[in-house]
Amino acid sequence: MPVDPLLAKCGLTEDQLSGGTLPAISPIDGRLVAQLHQTERGQVPTILAQSQAAFQAWRSVPAPRRGELVRLLGEELRAAKDALGAVVTLEAGKITSEGLGEVQEMIDICDFAVGLSRQLYGLTIASERPGHRMMETWHPLGPTAVITAFNFPVAVWSWNTALALVCGNPVIWKPSEKSPLTAMATMAVLNRALARFGDAPDGLVQLVIGGADLGDALISSPQVPLVSATGSTRMGRKVAPKVAERFGRSILELGGNNAMIVAPSADLDMAVRAIVFSAVGTAGQRCTSLRRLIVHDSLRAGLVAKLATAYASLPIGDPRAPDTLVGPLIDKAALDQMQAALAQARAEGGTVHGGEMVEAVAGGAYARPAIVDMPAQSEIVRTETFAPILYVMGYVTLDQAIALQNDVPQGLSSCIFTRDLREAETFLSASGSDCGIANVNIGPSGAEIGGAFGGEKETGGGRESGSDAWKAYMRRATNTINYSDALPLAQGVRFDI
């Protein structure tokens, strides 16, 4: 089949894009874009051996030199931003600005990681023994498997890979079967950075394309000390026990069921703008998408009316069109799941505004975002549906609102809109939100790379991106140096011979 001009611009060839068994389909119109060759499971031992060999060399490269590779990657991403962003749109269905924003996120984490390469610091610790000093040192951990989801097909890889590389670890990347093209295009960008770098070991970053059997081979291997997996809670339940059984480490970024509390003092115009972006951006297919709106009873009817008006005006269609704000769901199965969830919500007493299927582009799975006024937090509300559905519930007291927010299995992102300082601080306190992300007067979606990203409970407890998330990619050693001419023991123990 002929090569899509966009993919050719990204450096992909006919040999890479045709003749394989994995179809790459655009959610925009259901078009078959490529037929990709899958990695055979029998190749995995060789891939693991190459990664281990790369680790032996890369761990001894000074960290600032490792950071130079990531700096070059950032430069190449800047040059490729428009084309790579367009591939994100083609394959994930994101509107153009979101596709470009995802590549910008890659650039930003490269900048962060370059600085980090000179800041992999440990502590100096006071010793109780005279003439002794204690300290911590951090060392590379080993090959890191990065398993990514379709909805952020390249940004999450970059969060992990930029940090893993400066920490001294090789990377094996398994993208979602629904978004392999963006992975291939990204590897073409990385290969240009590697060529400029000059002396990186072979097998430093490898790509495997295929299904769950490949993921299973990576998570089961003791040659992969760290697995970073992004996806559903169902997937995490499979990954975590297998990694733990062999005493490996896992960074899990799983489901989210994110809520916003709207208090009586909230700036409603600001809240409406935040709600609409958070709930319908990426067609509701972000792990941080707003799924539950908990509104003070005095505001509820008016806010639902404002939102219904705003939703009715949303341009839905081809995400490449400049005015489009809502693109397609990833496939028909996602659309079917959305309709099933809305049917269950109606059965549980909900009143649905919107949610109907839209014939925006032939072959694509498009739907109008839905607002569902619910009498209570029912079973369907407590279940994450990866679609633009916003459940609305009321509250009387802040304690009720916080309890309602926390009463779901997931714990990723949360927020409150209020002008009351006491309410804001209560929400952020130990008795407030139980999520990994808690915001005030900003939605739950659109996190910056400077903070550690991740959540609690069934979200998995992993942390990626900024702050001190880098520590998950390294091993810690506690060192004690005796520079005296005596050998005292700690805790006053005497053992004289």
287 an active-site residue? yes
Name the active-site residue from 253, 384, 458, 464: 253
Q: Which residues contact 35 (CB under 8 A, 6 or more apart)?
A: 1, 17, 18, 19, 20, 21, 22, 23, 24
Secondary structure element (H or E) that encloses residue 475, with its range: strand 474-482
Sites in the chain below the pLDDT cut of 70: none
Residue 141 is predicted with a pLDDT of: 98
253 is catalytic: yes
Tell me, what DSSP letter sits at residue 246? T
How many other CB atoms sit within 10 Å of the CB of residue 138?
18
**What's residue 446's pLDDT?**
81
Q: Where are the alpha helices (DSSP H) in 93-170?
A: 96-116, 155-167
pTM over 0.85: yes
Q: Which residues share a beta bridge with 230?
A: 253
Strand 205-207 relative to strand 171-174, pairing: parallel
Mean pLDDT of the chain: 97
* CA dihedral over 365, 283, 390, 256, signed as positive or negative: positive
Among residues 10, 110, 287, 435, the one annotated as catalytic is: 287
pLDDT for the residue 497: 85
pLDDT tens track for 98-118: 999 999 999 999 999 999 999
